[in-house]
Amino acid sequence: MEEEQDQSNNAQIMNLEVPYHLENFIGGELLAPRGGKYIDNYNPATGEVSGKIPESDAQDVEAAVQAAQQAFPAWSVTPLEKRFTVLNRIATLIDENLEALVLAETNDNGKPLWLSRRVDIPRASANFRFFATGIMHFATESHQMEDKAINYTLRQPIGVVGCISPWNLPLYLFTWKIAPALAAGNCVIAKPSEITPVTAYLLAHIVREAGLPDGVLNILHGTGPSAGEAIIQHPAVKAISFTGSTRAGARIASVAAPVFKKLSLELGGKNPNIIFADCNWEKMMRTSIQSSFSNQGQICLCGSRILVEASIYERFKKEFVERTRQLTVGDPLDEHSRQGAIVSKMHFDKVMRCIATAKQEGGIILCGGNVVQLPGRCANGWFIEPTVIEGPGPDSMTNQEEIFGPVVTLQSFQTEEEALQLANATQYGLAASIWTQDISRAHRIGAAVQSGIIWVNCWLLRDLRTPFGGMKNSGVGREGGWEALRFFTEAKNICVEL
């Protein structure tokens, strides 16, 4: 208890204020964009411009690459204990400044404050802590050829690498890339989404305070076509770790592949939530509400296609719709709101278009489907009712295209084979949930569903050591644990004849 008291007294609360004009972080300095261009940043809950962010271009990327190249020789040979210490210190500072980061994330993204506090920001510090300790245990292989030779593998840092992340879990996914890249000894040019840049901006203050050497991490702001393209096109950026849409992933691959950059792509999903009649009903119901609508359905892992065994379909439909109706859509700052705002006007319009398409395709809106008009400060914010749709067939656009909003569809199946067929009937292969008490069936379906991540009787239960990523159009490569440290290093085999 005394120790707890001590620790809280020692907590270092930094002055993490968000200025109206954000700045890039290059070579340890906060700098205006060289081209002088800024774009608007919005608070989705109010619809108002909350500030301006640099629209960085090739000049800023060039400066960042130079800073990273200068920092690389020293950082790449910095002892592991020292890398551990500084990355761990970043994690501690994130924890100590939780509330400032939570508020910034919610104002920028529109997600409920409690969600930023419970999930997003704690996970950002967990990412740093995990890879800080991970690098201390990262071992390389050795292969002995009887009495002829011994091979050993070096895993060396790549050099300057690019990390580009999306808006749905802003600091969470930004740090999920940066932490392993830095732990492995690389210098990083990182770009958060232009839609949610603020916590990445605040991270610059934190890493400086933690003692990360100048130039080891450079954070640039701006849009994909300007800042993002300049990062992926720069010849000195040797690897790109990207999370975002399948469309942007294809574009990035087309630039990076011909010049043989190492690529990790975490892309879109259209994940099945497969429910068998023998499931644990209450647990399945509670979790399915979360896997459908957490973060307004804007999680790549959300189960947007709910497949239900025919014998329980009507019961499921009734209860699921009732529970969905109880999700309060409200001001993200209000602790009672279960659902916050949609991240941008553009995305709000897209989700509403998808709902209109579902109706045109013969879908029946069982609940939701409408814009939510809130009073007071959120009167001009972007809010949509959680929506449940029944009807369009498996080949409809509604069941094929990623909506990435608070919208799920219901389909029923008669047999295990039909469930599997429906589950695999999209171009995506990111995640799936399976609800059954039949252990053999769980293993069978788990092995046969074409997804990189399968949850049996749970959802979003994450062990950071496990491989994370998708197959088919959901991505290339895996993040997490050793996979991430392997991605951010070059393997070099040395064969020594005995």
* C-beta of 436 vs 474, nearer to ligand NAD: 474
| Residues making contact with ligand NAD (CB under 6 A) | 164-168, 173, 191, 193-194, 223-225, 228-229, 232, 243-245, 248, 251-252, 266-269, 300, 402, 404, 430, 470, 474-475
Q: How far apart are CA 469 and CA 479, in angstroms?
A: 6
* C-beta of 168 vs 433, nearer to ligand NAD: 168
Does 367 participate in catalysis according to the annotation? no
Does 300 participate in catalysis according to the annotation? yes
Q: How many Å is the Cα radius of gyration of the chain?
A: 23
* C-beta of 129 vs 347, nearer to ligand NAD: 347
* C-beta of 164 vs 284, nearer to ligand NAD: 164
* C-beta of 168 vs 324, nearer to ligand NAD: 168
Measured from the CB of residue 360, what is the shortest distance to ligand NAD in angstroms? 23
Kindly name the residue from 279, 300, 302, 354 that is annotated as catalytic. 300
Measured from the CB of residue 208, what is the shortest distance to ligand NAD in angstroms? 22
Angle of helix 80-96 relative to helix 198-210, nearest 10 degrees? 130
Measured from the CB of residue 224, what is the shortest distance to ligand NAD in angstroms? 2
Measured from the CB of residue 354, what is the shortest distance to ligand NAD in angstroms? 13
Q: How far apart are CA 10 and CA 273, in angstroms?
A: 45
Asked if residues 123 and 177 have their Cβ atoms less than 8 Å apart, the reply is no
Put the strands of the sheet holding 364-367 in their side by side order. Answer: 364-367, 387-390, 407-413, 305-309, 272-275, 431-435, 453-456
Measured from the CB of residue 447, what is the shortest distance to ligand NAD in angstroms? 21
Kindly name the residue from 105, 194, 266, 390 that is annotated as catalytic. 266
* C-beta of 154 vs 397, nearer to ligand NAD: 397
Copy the structure tokens of residue 488: 């951010």
Measured from the CB of residue 319, what is the shortest distance to ligand NAD in angstroms? 28
Q: How far apart are CA 327 and CA 294, in angstroms?
A: 10
Nearest CA among 120, 132, 119 for reference residue 210: 132
Put the strands of the sheet holding 24-26 in their side by side order. Answer: 29-31, 24-26, 217-219, 187-191, 160-164, 237-243, 262-266, 475-476
CA distance to 348, 404, 405, per residue, from 369 (Å): 12, 14, 11
Q: Over the range 94-120, which residues count as b (16 or more CB within 10 Å of their CB) and which as e? A: bbbbbebbbbbbbbbbbbbbbbbbebb
Active site residues: 266, 300
